[in-house]
Structure 1
């Protein structure tokens, strides 16, 4: 960090503040490095420090990489450089408030998490306030993360829920790549490329000094998620949406549909950069959230309107539902059979598998079960992260369906799945 010159005695304090501000932006999701703080200090030497607009414009020119980051930058700038009461501002952002009947302002939970992780030290000369337990869960130790990832979504407190959202955002989930039959050029491999090697030998005056190789190309697997948002699935659906948002931000090939009493395509809404804004947009868009369930009718609408457009290219269907449907069981059975013909494979994620003695006895579950390739739990974060390896579809490893008597896959001799 550059040292202060005699003409600017306030530069050391300014340098610390600028560095702290850059760290705050990085914790809030900006892709910054320590070099950005050095560049910011150099830029501030060439402008009028007393002009607030010039300082904002100079810092924004250095850190912004897209127009979608501007609202978050403006909120962080106003909060950091104007109000010294960080804790009060952070609490105001975490807890919505309505004044005089006006709607509350839009909140940035990423900025609130970053501020919670960086509390200012107490001023010298003032007595320390009495110690009290403050459980801001943005900074988590590895043990806390493991413990939180094993908690049931339905048993999470408000603080644990905020910590889970932060953990999903920072982990950046990625699905395992699929191995295809196509070959591509590679530095090494098991398939020698004779044509490329011969062309290289011609350029080297007929000397075969180096071989060219090809290997199997890999691609991101296409995934279609059908998410039940009925009243019994409300907490689990919200957690799965945050996980899907992380996958969408990782540029995964995914389409997301919600169904309760009707089917809703929310793929475009999940492309919002901030997950809280995306989920808020979805809950406002979907009218049957936490309502009833009509799985058969929703699948019929999907099969007729979206199946041919979204299930091409050996796509995998993730059906997230507890399978509790008491109406039109024959329709549910017929539409699951139709979906089976469209999809490469179907994986059923059921939160009820969290119970050790669970057995699918309901009529709706019995109608779904014969048409799925695997039955897996979806009640905590560990079960969602397990999908990253489950969707690999490695050709060298046959895909195994979970037998009916062993929903957790603990049977040492499981029945093989039907051939895709």
Structure 2
């Protein structure tokens, strides 16, 4: 440390304390920052010094960031943590009094901001001198049962974070369908061509039978998610669900409000916050109106032949509250149903026990649906995961029964 740095309790010793607390914030936000990395960060700052904000940022970045997908979270945490009460400017002035303070930049949303704000919440209610007691907060059995059945719209920020972690741990079923393509197998139908080829390799003196069987593939999943104003409380959580399953199988995701937007590429990012931020940047009609018929017409015309091959399963996520319900809606739903193997409609309105299909849009869509399921809680999403490998009309109630009840 420079000789002119004060030796009071608020002097150099505070730098190490702040780096330790900053590392704890990163750990709460999901970055793998261990005690060894914290020690290395403190030593790196001691060697490099604090000449400017940019130098200090890259010194910590070089030690605490190990993966590319962690950069956005680290940047957001650095901007928020070291901006509080001009903490970094005070340290720079203390280490080099001649250095001019840097003007604060205007705030703007970044990927990882939700996670960082959640991680900083306990820091804002505690002075830095107070020791921190780390508690391994795990859900008890009763808390887990309540969380499984609680509506997403009624969850607090902490409960939503726990729900997203539970969604990320969902086990996807290994549902496979047979195709017309054949492959060599130990058992199955006799294959004369493979048998003759094998005998020729052996000189023709020995004939060993060869067999073939149909190839089994995991069908692709296509999700059409409503992001209108009435779906705001559910669309973001369901996008976390789609991001979780996109890491384990082929998934194509389309968002629609007043227009259709393909966000499959954005959801392929490993970091969920970065993926959702990419989706928000790509969509221009978030929390707006709803035009289901127009969105389905665009999908059927431009995308159905590209993504609905190999027995694809379609998840239609919407409340069905169409602004302009007409004959086109039923026609486009019928075309969508004929293009896929299974059409599953996820509707948050089914959380109400007395739900009736009275809206004209819902009545136009229901006759063309294989399964009609709720999508308002963790338990409902777990049931959807089980339904992905269920044949049409399996465990779910017949969608047409809602039409009869209404």
Note whether the superposition's TM-score is higher than 0.5. yes
8 Å contact kept, 1:184–1:215: yes
Which deviates more, 49-58 or 162-171?
Answer: 49-58
Deviation, structure 1 residue 20:
6.8
Using the TM superposition, give the Cα deviation of residue 190 of structure 1 relative to its aligned residue in structure 2, in angstroms: 9.7
Give the Cα separation in 1 of the matches to 2:46 and 2:105.
41
**Residues 178 and 220, structure 1, Cα contact 8 Å, conserved in 2:** yes
Answer yes or no: is the 8 Å Cα contact 1:176–1:220 preserved in 2: no
Structure 1 residue corresponding to 2:164, chosen from 163, 168, 184 = 168
Give the alignment's TM-score, normalised by structure 1: 0.64
Q: Which whole-Å deviations, capped at 9, do the CAs of 1:98-121 have from their partners, x for residues lacking one?
A: x99945464622233334467868
Instruction: Decide whether aligned partners of structure 1 residues 377 and 25 sit closer, same or farther in structure 2, where only a CA change above 3 A counts.
Output: same
Q: Secondary structure at the match of 1:335?
A: helix
Which of 278, 286, 291 is the equivalent residue of 2:288?
Answer: 291
**Does the alignment pair 1:261 with 2:226?**
no
How far 1:384 sits from its partner (Å)? 1.9
One of 377, 382, 388 as aligned partner of 1:380: 377
Deviations 1:161-188 (A, max 9, x none): 45314530464145322234499999xx
Q: Tell me if structure 1 keeps the 8 A contact 2:167–2:241.
A: no
Alignment of 1:329-340 (within 5 A): 329-340=326-337
| 1:312 and 2:317 aligned | no
CA distance in 1, matches of 2:371, 2:57: 53
The CA RMSD over aligned residues, in Å, is 5.0
Cα contact 2:19–2:42 (8 A) shared by 1? no
Query: Matches of 2:23 and 2:184 in 1, distance apart?
Result: 41
The alignment status of 1:178 with 2:179, answered yes or no, reads no
Matched, 1:27 2:23: no
Compute the displacement of 1:339 (Å): 0.9
Matches of 1:229 and 1:174 in 2, distance apart? 26
Match of 2:222 in 1: 224
1-structure distance, mates of 2:37, 2:229? 52
Distance in 1 (CA, whole Å) between partners of 2:325 and 2:78 is 56
Q: Say if 1:15 and 1:221 are closer, same or farther in 2 by CA, change over 3 A.
A: farther
Q: Does 1:270 align with 2:271?
A: no
Structure with bigger RCO (C-alpha 8 Å, 6+ apart): 2
Please, which runs of 5 or more residues in structure 1 have no aligned partner?
1-11, 87-98, 127-137, 200-213, 408-420
- Higher fraction of helix: 2
How many pairs are equivalent? 348
Aligned residues of 1:117 and 1:139 also touching (Cα < 8 A): no
1:96-245 aligned at under 5 Å gives the runs: 102-104=106-108, 106=110, 108-116=113-121, 123=129, 139=137, 141-142=139-140, 143-156=142-155, 160-161=156-157, 163-169=159-165, 171-172=167-168, 173-181=170-178, 220-245=218-243
TM-superposed deviation, 1:373: 0.9
Contact 1:180–1:216 under 8 Å retained in 2? no
Task: Kindly indicate whether the alpha-carbon contact (under 8 Å) linking 1:296 and 1:332 is maintained by their aligned counterparts in 2.
Answer: yes
Query: Whole-Å Cα distance in 1 between the matches of residues 184 and 137 of structure 2?
Result: 43
- The answer to whether the 8 Å contact 1:40/1:59 transfers is no
User: C-alpha displacement at 1:299, in angstroms?
Assistant: 0.9
Q: State the secondary structure of the residue aligned to 1:111.
A: helix
* CA distance in structure 1 between the partners assigned to 2:17 and 2:286 by the alignment: 47
Q: Give yes or no for the alignment of 1:403 onto 2:398.
A: yes
